[in-house]
Structure formats: C-alpha cells, structure tokens
Structure 1
Amino acid sequence: MKKVVFFGAPDKSHLLLVLGKLLTALERKVLIVDSTFAQSMQGYLPQLEFGCSLREFEGIDVATGLITSAQLERSLLEAEGEAAYDVMLLDTDHTEFVKGRELPGYDKRVWCSNFNRMGMQTNANLMQRLCLHEAEGQPLTFYKLNAPTLPTAIPESYIDSVLPQQAVRWEDTVFRFPLDERDMSVELDNQHHGRIDIRRLSGAYRRTVLDMLQQLFDCDSKAARRGWARSRKACVSGNFCERR
C-alpha cells in the first residue's frame, strides 16, 4: 500500500477528497485518514458523526476522529487491515500519529503551508516536534504545497525562513493552488450537497491536481487525465454525486 502523509495547519480536506476520487476512478482502493484537530473532513460527509469512525463516501473509505495509528488499526479490523487498500492519504497537524522514525515508512511526504501568520507559527512548532533527527536515512524529502497562493509582497521563501532548521530536503516540485472564487464555491457546494463534484473547479486547480497524481502516485500524464475524465463523467451521470 502506498502511503502519503500531508502535514500542516491549512485545511486539506477537499483536496484529499478530490485526489481520492480521481484515484478511485483509476480503480485504486483508497483510504483517507483525518487525524487533524479540527476534523474538517466531517464537513464534507453527508452525515456528521463525530468520534472515531470508518465509512464509505464516494467510493472512498474515510476514517475520522483518529489521533493515533493504534486507533486506525482498530478501525480497520473489519476491513482486512491496511492490505485492503492500494493508497492511504493521511492528513495531520500534530505528531501523535506519525513522527521521527515512522516517517520513512511513508512513500511521500507533503508539507502544506500558506501565509496565515498563526498557521505559519503552528507549522514551525509542528516541524520542531516531528523529531526528524530520529528518522533513518535522513534527510527526509518533502514536497511543498502552498494553498492558497495569492499576490502579496511577502515572498514564498519567507514561509521556509520561519521553519526551524531540520533534516529536510525539499523536492523541486511545488504544488500551488491560487486563490479562486470558483474553487471556493465548489468546496462549499460539495460540503452542503454531500458530494465531490469536480466539474466547476478552475483550470489551475485541475492542472495542479493532475501534477500531484503524477508526482505522488506514480501516474503518467495519460492516466491522470483519464482519472479526471472518468470522475467528471461520473458526476454527470450521478454515480458518485448524489447525496447518500
């Protein structure tokens, strides 16, 4: 099973659901784990069920309310464990689930940032608590994800300067999601309709997501585009986009 962890303060729930939807369209069995303090993933599910739970949504298995990996293991007992999945996407903004010596067990690691001042401080504290010096084979590689990006006099390099000096090697690729009212509208619509409809997402959003499929999940460009086309078609036919 390929495991990808997304660290950081910004809300990543909608993005992970979109990625999960595209991977499902490519016939991969996907598990998304929300191990954040805010539990924002709950806002996209048709029924709010706070607490630890594992449920199916749009062909994706979504685990919410989890803080530790032991809680996930208990939730997966009825689902044949991790072996039941091809891909696991972990969203976390703390270090109770994974840190230090466990990090090399993840195939890809994505560091998520924005220019929110409090979010930058939260990320700096998180980086410090990750104990990256404990990881074997350091320095560990991380991709950067900036969302949203918007015109500002503050350079992106300032985000890195706030982080503590750690054993990190940044990948050359940076995933950027420009602030776009269409994308914000789609996120809100998907929340209130209990679905993941990708049809009205902006071209910039689409290009970045397709790039992520290629960089993080070993999809070639043709497969990535095929996943997008299948997901759009499913939304048109109503296979995945009806409230459950």
Structure 2
Amino acid sequence: MKHWIFIGACDKRELLMYLGRILAANRKRVLLVDTSKELRYRYAMGMESDGLPIAEFCGMDVATGFADSLDLYRALDEGGESELAYDYILYDMDNGSFGHKDLWEGADEIVWVTGLGRYALEKGREQFVSLLELYPDLVGRRVKKVYMHSVDSQLTDEYISSFVSSLPICWEAKAVRIPLDEGNVAVRLEGEHAGTIEIRRITRAYKRVLIELVEELTKWDRGLTRKAVRYADRRRA
C-alpha cells in the first residue's frame, strides 16, 4: 500500500478525483480521504451531507467526516476492512493534525498543491510551518509542487517558490502546472451536479499534465499510464 499526502490552501478535489479515477482505471484499489470539516467531497460526489462515511464513487472509495486518521482506520476495521487492503490512499489534508506522526513520516509522496493567489501561497507557508513544528523529523523531506489553474503571467516559478523556499524542505525543482481553461472548469462543474467524473471531456493539455504527474507518483511507464487514462476516459459512473 502506498499513501500520498496532498496539502495546500486551495481546492484539491478536482485533481485528486482525476488521479483516483486514473489509478482505479488501472485496476488499483483506491481510497481518497477528505479531511475537511465541511465534507467537501460529498458535494463533489452529489451526495447528501448525511451520506455514508465511506462510499464508492467512480471506481474508488471516498472517506469523509472522520476526526483523524486513527478514527478512519477504526471504521475500516469495524467494517471488516483495512487500510492495507488499498493499493493507494490519497489524503487531501487541510492541516497536519488529521494525520499522526507515522502517517506523515511514512508518506510515499507529499505534494504541495497551491493556487497562485497570494492568500494560497501565504497560507501554504503557514501550513508547512505548523507541520514542521508538529513533526520536526520532516525537515529535509522531499516535496513536489503542483500549481492549480496556472495562467500566463509574470509570476515566475522562482517568485512563487520564494514563499516557501526558506523552509527546511527539499522542494522539487520543477513544478507541475495545471492550466486554467474555461472548458475544464465547465466539465468539473457539470460533473459535480451529475455526480460523476468525466476525464474524457477535459483538454488534451490537462490530460498531458495528469499523465506526467501520475508517472512521477506511481513510477509507471508512459504506455501503462496512457492506457489507464484512455480506460478512465471510457468508464462512466
């Protein structure tokens, strides 16, 4: 079982749902964990606010409403399951307190997902400062960078990185940029209201970025990743 932690002060649902869908399309068992108090993923799934705490959605399981990771593991155990039964667990972290020390230090990947607005960048720095205070052993940890809804602007990667570069983190030099596109936004919004995920309708540029990110995270080869994306294209909820 591999687990990835995505942290950052922006809406990460779109990205994580696409990643989970692609992983599931390659016959992997996936658990996506929503740590938000607002239960945001239930709305993205078209569920009622009092829905099941662990629900199947588009080939993966989505967990919402748990106080912390140990609470989640207890619920899985009571249901005759285990976190170890999943090939991949994706945590959408709003703060470091949801996960315990071993969860953070044992993460196969930690990914900083941020928008380019000043609030998201400043808040992201605050999150990492708090995280390092909670878990000092994360000093020197390698962290990937993903910029959501990136646009052509004078905000260079050097400038964006300056918000967090002084922290004792080993930041990967190259950031993954998710391009802002009106059509992609429409696909996400329509998917939320229809209760589905439709990767087939997003732009080729977005698919290329997803393929690149999946390859980096899973270490799959290009052929396998493209095959998983094509299969995710065809699958419907």
What TM-score comes out, normalization by structure 1 length? 0.89
Quote how far apart the aligned CAs of 1:69 are.
1.0
Q: How does 1:36-51 map to 2 (within 5 A)?
A: 36-50=36-50
Query: What is the root-mean-square deviation of aligned Cα atoms in Å?
Result: 2.1
- Structure 1 stretches of 4+ moved >3 Å: 99-102, 132-138
1:44 Cα deviation (Å)? Answer: 1.7
Unaligned runs of 5+ in 1: 235-239
AA matched with 2:116: F
- The alpha-carbon deviation at position 197 of structure 1 amounts to 1.0
Aligned partner of 1:237 in structure 2 is none
Distance 1:85 1:68, change over 3 A: same
Match of 1:152 in 2: 153
Deviates more, 1:172-181 or 1:222-231: 172-181
Question: 1:133 Cα shift?
Answer: 8.4
Could you tell me how far apart the structure 2 residues matched to 1:39 and 1:150 are? 29
Q: CA deviation at 1:180?
A: 0.3
Deviation at 1:116, TM superposition (A): 1.7
Write out aligned runs for 1:1-244 (5 A): 1-50=1-50, 53-77=53-77, 78-98=79-99, 102-131=103-132, 134-136=135-137, 138-163=139-164, 165-234=166-235, 240-241=236-237
Moved more, 31-40 or 186-195: 31-40
Q: What's the CA shift for 1:182?
A: 1.1
Q: What is the percentage of aligned positions where both structures have the same residue?
A: 30
Contact 1:101–1:134 (CA under 8 A) maintained in structure 2: no
Q: Distance in 1 between matches of 2:9 and 2:112?
A: 9
- Partner of 1:226, secondary structure, is helix
Letter in 1 for 2:10: P
**How many corresponding residue pairs?**
236
1:15 aligned counterpart, secondary structure = helix
Q: Aligned letter for 2:188?
A: E
Amino acid in structure 2 at the alignment position of 1:21:
R
Deviation per CA, 1:190-232, whole angstroms, max 9, x where unpaired?
Answer: 1000001111101111011111111001211111000011111
